[in-house]
Structure 1
Amino acid sequence: MNYNDERFADLQMLRYKLSGFEDLSLKQKIYIYYLSKATLAGRDITFQQFGKYNLKIRKVLESIYINYAGSRDDEEFKSLVVYLKRVWFSSGIHHHYGCNKFVPEFTRDFFVNAFNTLSDSQLGINSDEDRDSLLKDILPAIFDADFMSKRVNQADGADLIETSACNYYEGVNQNEVEQFYAKLKDSDDKHPISYGLNTKLVKQNGEIKELVCKADSLYGDKICNIIHWLGKASEYVENDQQKKVISTLIKYYKTGDLRIFDEYSIEWLKEQDGMVDFINGFIEVYGDPLGLKGSWEGIVEYKNIEATKRTKTISDNAQWFEDHSPVALEFRKPKVKGVTANVICAAMLGGDEYPASAIGINLPNADWIRAEHGSKSITICNLTEAYSKAAHGNGFMSEFVIDQATNDLIEKYGDICDDLHTDLHECLGHGSGRLRQGTDPDALKAYGNTIEEARADLFGLYYIADDKLIELELVPNKEAYKSQYYTYMQNGLLTQSVRISLGSDIEEAHMRNRALIANWALDMDKDNSVVSIVERDGKHYVEVKDYEALRNIFAQELHEIQRIKSEGDFDAAKSLVEKYGIKLNPDLHREVLDRYASLNIAPYKGFINPWMKPQYDADGNIKDIVLDYTETYSHQMLRYSGEY
């Protein structure tokens, strides 16, 4: 399979293979097919959540793309096509990672002229008044640099709600949002719901209220479509527990009741026996500057049985890892419950997991459910395989690794340790530790996502160097972990900055987390004997001098990060993130960008889904699901816009 499909802007599209799909039973294939339809059915919800005008802009751009009568070799038209492809990729007009608004490389006049050539039916409108209103909405969103300039703003001192373009709030400011949810919370509730997860908070006629995402309310038409396909899938489940999971999810989508969402999450945790699983709903909160609102996402998956032996070994030993953690005893779980992990093949990506996707996921996010019922983790092997294939021989490591010996170490052990660190991060890291009684899970506010990702990363970093992993035959020897330590520090200190434009700060939570860990480690190494940035022949590199001592630093960091999380210490979280996780050295950043540019590598990758095509017998029954890997990115996006 050709994993390198198409490049535009700072993006490269990849394809992922569904290895072993052909060996599944027909019933399992049909189950996956209908779950995939449910995964794609919520696509427009994500567009709407990420910005008020995103759907209108996408539809106009698509109409111009399809109906443009001028030369398609015109430079402005080609620039509009690139802009549209970026909008498709990011589910809106802001960068999927950096959150800054795209700068169009076509003129306002070109766009307006192209818009004016479209008929009302092509635009999906009914009158000149609608036409004028549509243009009035979308022109400033596209062309005014200061209007809705950042999807998620987390700059200290700003009103994070008023300065963020995400569409989770309207007419309210940060103080009003925080007060609204503070009044709802009961500190004595041992089973608190995830307040605000599936709502939009608005002020109407001076009253602040929540609009709930459910079948008969916000995004109701899309949710009803999701429910339809979930219902079809329920006819092909592998066991009764899967049917119960789906029926509970449908009940939640119909009511919007977050207590039922918690019930669904617990039932989802109980389902362990089936080959096929899925995630579908308002889940991750990275798209909200206050970390409350869940963006809609979906993924369908099936187990890689052989590779899951690795994650099962980890989860079977979860109590040992918890007991030997370097965090304070009071913040360890005395009894780890229900920790399970699987290596899976993604079968379909949707919503906030498409086209860019996580390579590992740990759910549910509610701390009390983790404590009482456990968590379920996945590592997505066919996506990591696609990344690895695309990176092979691209020159990145040769350019940025300090010497050949370290490069050889990474070449030998890098893939093993990358997968293992992801497993430890997702399976045990997120599921480890506990809050002090009475601590508000949302106490860290805008810094909560970064601290949580740092906690999971540090857990993985600390344990990947432990002799226990050799005993469990998860790493081959005492040298392997060094590949992960080096690449992690290199990424956090230098190379992740290739994803950031010169003069900008680090915005995304995972990137802030890596910078925090790496820069903090440098600062803790007072005598410069453990890790440093050194200059060789005019270029800067990371040098790790003492890997064992670096592990001790990671242990100290994990101890403090867990304390901050467990106690809800907002001031300490803010201090660490602001000091270590946000700012870049401009001279070093410029050098790294120049070196990276010479390699001609796209810094971001995303995926084209396989096209699942049901085959029917003479009676109209599905007799097989055929996978088509040849669909182009543009065709897939236009097809989804038409179907969903």
Structure 2
Amino acid sequence: MSTATFRYLADLKAPFSILEAKPFFNSLDNIQKTYAHHMSRAAFEGTRIIITQTNPRAETIYDLILKIFSNKQGQLTDIQALQQRSEVSPETFEDLLQYSGQFLGNLSNYKSFGDEKFIPRISVKDFEKVVAASELKEEALSLFNQAKDEIYNVEPVTRNLLGYPDDGQLSGYYSDNITKDDIKAVQTYLEKINIDPLNTRLFKTDNGYDLAIASSDFKSETHILENGTPLTLKYGDFHEQMTKVAENIQSSIPVAANDNQRNMLNSYYDSFKTGSIEDHMESQRHWLRDIGPLVETNIGFIETYRDPQGVRAEWEGFVAMVNKEQTEKFNNLVQQAPLFVSRLPWPDTFERDTINKPDFTSLEVLSFATCGIPAGINIPNYTQVTQKLGSKNVSLGNVISASSPGEKFPFIVAEDLDLYKKLRNPAFEVQVGTHELGHGTGKLFNEDTDGKFDFDQDKVIHPFTQQPLSSWYKPGQTFSSVFGGIASSYEECRAECIALTLSPDDDILKIFGYEGQMAEDILYVMYLNMARAGLAALEYYDPIAKKWGQAHMQARYAITRIMMQAGDNFLSINKTKDDEGIDTLEIRLDRSKIRSIGRPAVATFLEKLQVYKATADVENGSKLYLETTSVPDDWVSMRDTVIRNKQPRKVFVQGNTFIDDDGQVILKEYEASPIGMIQSYIERLV
């Protein structure tokens, strides 16, 4: 096996964790459980959308995995009997289980965290033996022959990363023949006619461009771009999935808890039926008015992380139950949000006119249809909505607390290790809370189609030039469309900086229950965890393509660099040897200088991020961010050490809900293993 191929092998023993939700689910009455069931089904009906948006060739692999491990009754096959029939070793069979479980965890053969392809550790020959031994042999062999090249091929290497097709990379949002100039030309036109591309894919044809719009209804209309090229808007993309999503949304309406939920569901239904982003925006207005529901849910084309242009969003949907005890902490944070936001390092004129106190909830996830489950969420992402109505901040408690047996923590020095292990999760909870609060801050300056401004041009002064503003968002523009591919990472960096800027305040730490020495330890571990994440981020940087593969990790790298540049030996990363004499790295952070050196450096960087974002100053904003996230040669050399010490990412096994013959909703959970993951998808039938 070549060194190049070795790089792409699936993790050897990825830790599988149950997303435990049963105690919170069982606290619901059957009407609430029924609502949760239908919304979970609606979310999971988008599974094939997620797969196709990442890699259009991966749906065949998905079907193959389900066929191999299903029996003729459509249930999980006898795994032990399958291994024995295949005549491959137990170790080889385990490698196939790992690949299959990791594929389902990422909903692709590209990692959700890193955007890089992974391949099985099992040989093609042994893979085929297992396929031939399956109960659904004929169907499975047909799928294997269709999929095996996509499963194993790692040439050319550029194709192993998600990105722009004209850089030789892969994207499920675009045809292979499309260029960056094509994408920009279409985007400029869409802004002009006020069509949001969130739920679209773009294909270049012999006659022009086709813009595929996700909806259950079919419709087509042709426009002409300024250069004379036809652009055909084709509604009905993912027709089958969107139809099933809409049906489950309809089934949820009779069991909704209140009018806000019913109005939200009606808007969801209209959006998924017609493809209207305006209707989805309306659903989010109703969602924001539904404060503190026992069952929280959100669904749609939400995050734009994986579109290289930063304007097209992945399908996702979640259903969760409120953790009331934990939510009380966040409610205290929310009550004082205006005070905390006033401490951020930009002028009052750059903050939202009215700080809408966000609804901040700690949730226990029942189901999350996505390529990778986050620890926290701040949505909606529509500026038109959030600047008037605020946002909801969500901390996902059972994601943060999920155990990962045998996890190691490289680069933490011995004297910090026990404290780090003990407080890493509590410190991360503080970080998630203040991070998600941060997403809901900061004003964007806009001009509408009538030439009116949502700010006073005479009174708003640029803090760096001391002159009136010279740039702002023009009609049809959004932060994502202006800042393009860096927008998601840039915003994650802004939120992480807000977390590090606010968290040293004693009153914030007290809200989370930490005072005195414990508060100081939590703060130290929080900063230390950020430094470790910034170093570990090198795993997600491709030095050949000079490309970052993960928005959050690029952001954490930027902050780590800023903390190192703060000076006075606040943060250093040093080369050393481990106990076996092998090269490694160690992180040294001076806890006595967090407030005097670390926080001011991060706050200065944060102000620049916010000011450039607010004023649509893509030139200076991009320059700042790309310079900060560039990787110098000495860091590229450290990347080998990071790769050698990398830890497999946790894979979450989610349960399924079913309605029994008596109309009672039951939750079935599965074992924390690749087999449990596979069984959960077989029984999900999506």
Which letter does structure 2 place at the counterpart of 1:516? A
The amino acid that maps onto 1:90 is N
Task: Work out which of the residue numbers 383, 400, 405 in structure 1 matches 2:411.
Answer: 400
**Residue equivalent to 2:270:** 251
8 A contact 1:93–1:142 mirrored in 2: no
* Bigger mean CA offset, 108-117 vs 528-537: 108-117
Q: Which position in structure 1 is the counterpart of 2:181?
A: 175
The answer as to 2:625 corresponding to 1:625 is no
- Looking at structure 2, the residues matched to 53 and 536 of structure 1 have their Cα atoms a distance apart, in angstroms, of 44
Please give the residue correspondences for 1:145-544 in structure 2 after superposition, counting only pairs within 5 Å.
145-146=155-156, 149-153=159-163, 159=164, 163-170=168-175, 171-186=177-192, 195-216=196-217, 217-352=236-371, 356-386=372-402, 389-390=403-404, 394-396=407-409, 400-404=411-415, 406-407=416-417, 409-410=419-420, 413-426=423-436, 428-437=437-446, 438-439=472-473, 440=477, 441=479, 442-470=481-509, 472=511, 474-477=513-516, 479=520, 480-492=522-534, 494-497=535-538, 506-525=548-567, 528-534=568-574, 539-544=584-589
Matches within 5 A, 1:537-556: 539-545=584-590, 546-548=593-595, 549-556=597-604
1:128 corresponds to which residue? none
Closer, same or farther: CA 413–84 of 1 in aligned 2, 3 Å: closer
Query: Is contact 1:266-1:369 (8 Å) kept?
Result: yes
Pick aligned residue for 2:638 from 563, 585, 588? 588
Distance in 1 of aligned mates of 2:377 and 2:304 = 13
Residues 52 and 148 from structure 1, CA distance in 2 versus in 1: closer, same or farther, beyond 3 angstroms? farther
User: Does 2:20 align with 1:17?
Assistant: yes
1:47 equivalenced with 2:51 (yes/no): yes
Structure 2 distance, partners of 1:395, 1:85, is: 22
Instruction: Quickly say closer, same or farther: Cα 1:613–1:164, change in 2 above 3 A.
Output: same
Matched residue SS, 2:262: helix
Cα deviation code 1:526-560 (max 9, x no counterpart) = xx432222456665322222111101111111111
What TM-score do you get using the length of structure 2 for normalisation?
Answer: 0.80
Could you tell me which amino acid in structure 1 is paired with residue 505 of structure 2? Answer: D
Match 2:659 to one of 606, 614, 629: 614
Q: Which whole-Å deviations, capped at 9, do the CAs of 1:596-619 have from their partners, x for residues lacking one?
A: 37xxxx430021112334343xxx
Q: Please, what is the CA RMSD of the aligned residues?
A: 3.2
Measured in 2, the distance between the counterparts of 1:180 and 1:498 equals: 34
Matches of 1:202 and 1:498, distance apart in 2 = 32
In structure 1, C-alpha distance between the alignment counterparts of 2:340 and 2:147, rounded to whole Å: 54
Give 3-state SS (helix, strand or coil) of 1:44's partner. helix
Cα distance in structure 2, aligned partners of 1:624 and 1:236 = 13
**Equivalents in 2 of 1:146, 1:73: separation in Å?**
31
**Contact between 2:104 and 2:677, CA under 8 Å: does it hold in 1?**
no
Are the equivalent residues in 2 in contact too, given 1:251–1:260 (CA < 8 A)? yes
- How far does residue 150 in structure 1 lie from its aligned partner after superposition? 3.2
2:102 to 86, 89, 94: 86
Deviation, 1:273, is 4.2
| 1: CA distance, partners of 2:512 / 2:146 | 62
Between stretches 303-312 and 578-587, larger displacement belongs to: 578-587
Moved more, 76-85 or 241-250: 76-85
Counterpart pick for 1:565 among 607, 610, 613: 613
Looking at structure 2, the residues matched to 401 and 302 of structure 1 have their Cα atoms a distance apart, in angstroms, of 35
Distance 1:99 1:626, change over 3 A: closer
- Contact 1:202 1:208 survives alignment (8 Å): yes
CA 1:266 to 1:310, structure 2 compared with 1: closer, same or farther past 3 Å? same
- Report the equivalent of 2:3: none
User: Partners in 1 of 2:420 and 2:512 — Cα distance?
Assistant: 19
Report the alpha carbon displacement of residue 633 of structure 1 after superposing the two structures with TM. 3.7
**For the residues of structure 2 that align with 1:536 and 1:124, how far apart are their CA atoms?**
50
- What one-letter code is carried by the residue in structure 2 that aligns with 1:298? G
Specify whether residues 160 and 338 from structure 1 end up closer, same or farther in structure 2 by C-alpha distance, changes over 3 A only: farther
1:34–1:229 contact (8 Å) kept in structure 2: yes
1:634 CA displacement:
3.2
Give the whole-Å Cα distance in 2 for the aligned partners of 1:452 and 1:622. Answer: 44
Per the alignment, do residues 612 and 43 of structure 1 end up closer, same or farther by CA in structure 2, a change over 3 Å counting? same
Aligned CA distance change for structure 1 residues 499 and 179 (closer, same or farther; 3 Å) = closer
Tell me the alpha carbon deviations over residues 163-189 of structure 1, each in whole angstroms, 9 at most, x when there is no partner.
332211124211111111112225xx9
